[in-house]
Amino acid sequence: MGTTDSLKNQLQQQDNAPQQADPSKLGFKTLMSTPGMKKRFNEVLNERSEQFMSSLMTLVSGDDYLAKAEPMTIIASAMKAATMDLPIDKNLGYAYIVPFNRSEKIGNQWVQHNEAQFIIGYKGYIQLAQRSGQYKALNAIAVYEGQMVDWNPLTEEFTFSYEGKISDEVIGYVGFFELLNGFKKTVYWTKQEVEEHRISNNKNREKTKLTGAWKDNYDQMAIKTVLRNMLSKWGILSIEMQSAVTSDEKVFRYDDKNDLIEETKIDEMEPIEQERKEVEKVEDEQNEEVQQELFNDKKLGDITK
């Protein structure tokens, strides 16, 4: 009899126990308010976790298109930014969380997913490089018609005249860094080379079509492309920089073990076309002039390869 009563009590306790909710079925706001989610962000950001989570809530609530993305991809993208200690305020230009449509072929059917993608801005790459403490100088800018006096790809001597600008037509993009040990690197990409790179890496069905960040902020994306290529090939590959290069412009989610993983089932991805400000222009003419002074009437380069 005692055994029967004990079994009944156990079954009753199981019936009364709260059911574990499936995170994939929860909405964004509900997920963000769970103790488990707060704990995750706190483990990464400590006392700054509340401020970061608040900025994420503000970002999503202010963007109807992002709010419709799968909640776990939004949170996973935010967690990627948090692990790199990059702010996600789009006005700052360090990192962005942008809604994308992803098409996945299941059998003979195409299924569309609305997901959030993690994108690092060019300022984010500069920030991560600076943290290594190994850079004496680091910059990348757009070059306008008339500003490039001479460029020697072999010796990497780039002669630049800021006052030589004769139009608003961008002809290319130049990046430069110097390490504390004296190593220097200068790279120059023509507008055509940037276009070829953009088209070859475009996951959209229409390869040549400008969409998303490339449509909204072409020059910033081009500068970032030059920076990322330069730093990943010749810069200091810190753990943070390696993570940035491999995580940029990817979709992330949590697996069954709550580990952050990259979405690999990507056949076609297209930014959601909308009248929005997901990747707003963060332009400051005075700051741009200061940036370009680095290249003003100077020959920068190093024949070291």
**pLDDT of res. 193:** 96
Residues forming a β-bridge with 276: none
CA neighbor of 139 nearest in space, from 129, 154, 151, 150: 129
CA distance 18 to 167: 67
Tell me the whole-structure pTM to 2 decimals.
0.74
The owner of tokens 């200061």 is 290
The owner of tokens 């299924």 is 111
The conformation of residue 19, written as its DSSP 8-state character, comes to: P
**pLDDT of res. 134:** 94
CA distance 160 to 292: 9
Helix (H) / strand (E) element for 288: namely: helix 285-293
CA distance 194 to 178: 23
**pLDDT of res. 107:** 78
**Pairing between strand 268-271 and 95-106?**
antiparallel
Helix (H) / strand (E) element for 170: namely: strand 170-179
Type of residue numbered 53: M
Residue 194 CB burial class (10 angstroms; 0-12, 13-18, ≥19): buried
Residues forming a β-bridge with 270: 101
Tokens found for residue 28:
């964004």
Q: Are 73 and 63 in contact (CB under 8 A)?
A: no
Dihedral, CA atoms, 24, 27, 32, 34, nearest 10 degrees? -70
Q: Mean pLDDT for each consecutive 10-residue tract of the chain (305 residues)?
A: 51 51 71 90 92 94 91 92 93 91 76 87 93 94 96 92 94 96 96 94 80 86 95 91 86 70 55 46 47 50 38
Domain boundaries, the chain: 21-300
CA distances from 227 to 92, 141, 213, 256, 292 (A): 18, 9, 16, 35, 15
CA distance 108 to 245: 34
